[in-house]
A and B are shown apart, each in its own frame.
Chain A
Amino acid sequence: MITTDICIVGAGPVGLFAVFEAGLLKMRCHVIDALPIVGGQLAEIYPKKPIYDIPGFPSILAGDLVDNLMKQIEPFHPTFTLGERVEHLHKQEDGSFVVETSEGTEVACKVVVIAGGLGSFEPRKPAIDNLETFEGKGVNYMVRDPETFRNKRVVIAGGGDSALDWTIFLAGVAEDLTLVHRGTTFRGAPESAQKVVSMAEEGHIKLLLKSNVTNVHGNGKLNAVTVLVDNDTPHEIETDYFIPLFGLVPKLGPIENWGLELDKSAIAVNTFDYSTNVPGVYAIGDINTYPGKLKLILCGFHEAALMAQSAYNIIYPDKKFVLKYTTVNGIQEL
């Protein structure tokens, strides 16, 4: 069990800056992120894009901003759990919390700060009736262990890079593999696209273009899918597994079930201190909402500062909060 003062969910710019604001007030932080790297969307999606609205920086690359923030919080020695998604929030009798991740890591803390940005990226699910009934019973949205599919019949749907890559890989593992693609061409890596087309020509796999999976069937376990080819008559393909690979979409994820007040899948907060309806839980940055909310990094930074002074009252209930200027006091290492 990791023990800390504040558990921050999300290692994007706002989560990282929250470490700084907390550190100034002598509060220790542990940061959890579903991505294996820090920086959130800045690192994952647009590290090489310049940002023009960070005060004091006419222009700064997103990746450089993350590097700078990491340097800025160094004196406060935050700890990190990366590559694990937060799953559960367990409220303790004394008012503190234990945050539990997808891998079972537990973080004991007095305050939880959700700085989850867009949320975590989850597989995009096609709208097929009953699809969810077969999840884990033949329908998989990602390939965790390719051995699962050894000598099985597999239908993959999708036309992006991951659909192509897994088709090539699983062709050598599965007994029988069909790739169903809506379009007639692939925009993914040309070598992969070429390879898939030639594998189909040589009869190693079946490639159905201008096609969609429209239905799934089975009795407790998946045994067939219906495919519509070029708007012709739908036909059934017997299969053990159906793997729809349609990319990722940001979702709030398990946080949705934490009893927090939500407004259009953002967390409603009080602008006095960015607290949620659950005492001790705050939400800052793109994941929160309030009248007049702007999804800007600089607004998230401001929210982090106000959150920290409020969290101070929970972590040090007997001490009075005094605003300290870094120009006067410098940075005291934690």
Chain B
Amino acid sequence: MEDAIKITVETPDGERVVLEAPTDMGLSVMEVMKANELNVPAICGGMAICATCHVEVLASGDLPEMNDDEAFMIESLPHATEMSRLSCQLRITPELDGLVVRLMPEA
């Protein structure tokens, strides 16, 4: 696929899945995971209010900075780590090629 990047998702049982994600559709990592039928509840649909798309970034290039909504939400999560992100807030761009994330247990 042209204009597509690869991201790797580690599921809670440790399995790794490589997903191809188009960069020209304004998708988020959460949306790409859902489209590939990974078990991501993402109840709120991408508004950074439920944290049911919480991931830990295991490898990446430069990631976009967190906005306040995302930062506040991650602050409030009991199991967040230094590398926690809400996958709904990570837009698929060429810079994200090679991203590796781990799905965190549902909040």
Chain A residues lying within 8 Å of B47, measured Cβ to Cβ, are 45-46
Chain B residues lying within 8 Å of A159, measured Cβ to Cβ, are 75-76
- Whether A249 contacts B75 in the complex (CB less than 8 A), given A118-B44, A265-B41, comes out as no
Chain B residues lying within 8 Å of A41, measured Cβ to Cβ, are 44, 49
Contact of B80 with A182 in the complex, beta carbons under 8 Å: yes
Chain B residues within 8 Å of A, Cβ to Cβ: 41, 43-45, 47, 49-52, 71-73, 75-80, 105, 107
Chain B interface, >50% SS class: loop
Q: Can you pick out 21 interface pairs between chain A and chain B where the beta carbons lie within 8 Å of each other?
A: A41-B49, A45-B49, A118-B43, A118-B50, A119-B43, A124-B51, A124-B78, A126-B79, A157-B78, A159-B75, A160-B72, A160-B76, A182-B78, A182-B80, A188-B75, A246-B76, A247-B51, A247-B77, A250-B43, A250-B50, A265-B43
Chain A interface, >50% SS class: loop
- Whether A158 contacts B44 in the complex (CB less than 8 A), given A127-B105, A187-B71, A249-B52, comes out as no
A244 to B107: give the CA distance in the assembly, Å.
14
Beta-carbon contacts under 8 Å, A41-58 to B: 41, 45-46
A59 to B106: give the CA distance in the assembly, Å.
34
- Whether A249 contacts B51 in the complex (CB less than 8 A), given A118-B44, A264-B41, A265-B41, comes out as yes
Chain A residues lying within 8 Å of B78, measured Cβ to Cβ, are 124-127, 157-158, 182, 212, 244, 246
Number of interface residues of A (CB under 8 A): 27
Shortest CB distance B78–A (Å): 3
A159 to B80: give the CA distance in the assembly, Å.
12
A195 at the interface (CB under 8 A from B): no
Contact of A124 with B49 in the complex, beta carbons under 8 Å: no
Shortest CB distance A250–B (Å): 5
Contact of A249 with B45 in the complex, beta carbons under 8 Å: no
Chain A residues lying within 8 Å of B50, measured Cβ to Cβ, are 118, 249-250
Shortest CB distance B16–A (Å): 23
Interface-centre pick from B45, B78, B79 (highest chain A CB count, 10 A): B78
- Whether A187 contacts B44 in the complex (CB less than 8 A), given A118-B50, A249-B51, A250-B50, comes out as no
Chain B residues lying within 8 Å of A249, measured Cβ to Cβ, are 43, 50-52, 107
Contact of A124 with B44 in the complex, beta carbons under 8 Å: no
A104 at the interface (CB under 8 A from B): no
Shortest CB distance A46–B (Å): 7
A295 at the interface (CB under 8 A from B): yes
A41 to B45: give the CA distance in the assembly, Å.
12
Contact of A124 with B41 in the complex, beta carbons under 8 Å: no
Shortest CB distance A222–B (Å): 17
Chain A residues lying within 8 Å of B75, measured Cβ to Cβ, are 159-160, 183, 186-188
Contact of B41 with A158 in the complex, beta carbons under 8 Å: no
A108 to B11: give the CA distance in the assembly, Å.
46
A246 to B80: give the CA distance in the assembly, Å.
11
Chain B residues lying within 8 Å of A186, measured Cβ to Cβ, are 75
Chain A residues lying within 8 Å of B72, measured Cβ to Cβ, are 160, 187
A295 to B43: give the CA distance in the assembly, Å.
10
Interface-centre pick from B44, B49, B75, B105 (highest chain A CB count, 10 A): B75
A183 to B78: give the CA distance in the assembly, Å.
10
Contact of B76 with A247 in the complex, beta carbons under 8 Å: yes
Chain B residues lying within 8 Å of A127, measured Cβ to Cβ, are 78-79, 105
Beta-carbon contacts under 8 Å, A128-184 to B: 157-160, 182-183
Shortest CB distance A129–B (Å): 13
A132 to B43: give the CA distance in the assembly, Å.
24
A126 to B72: give the CA distance in the assembly, Å.
17
Shortest CB distance A14–B (Å): 14
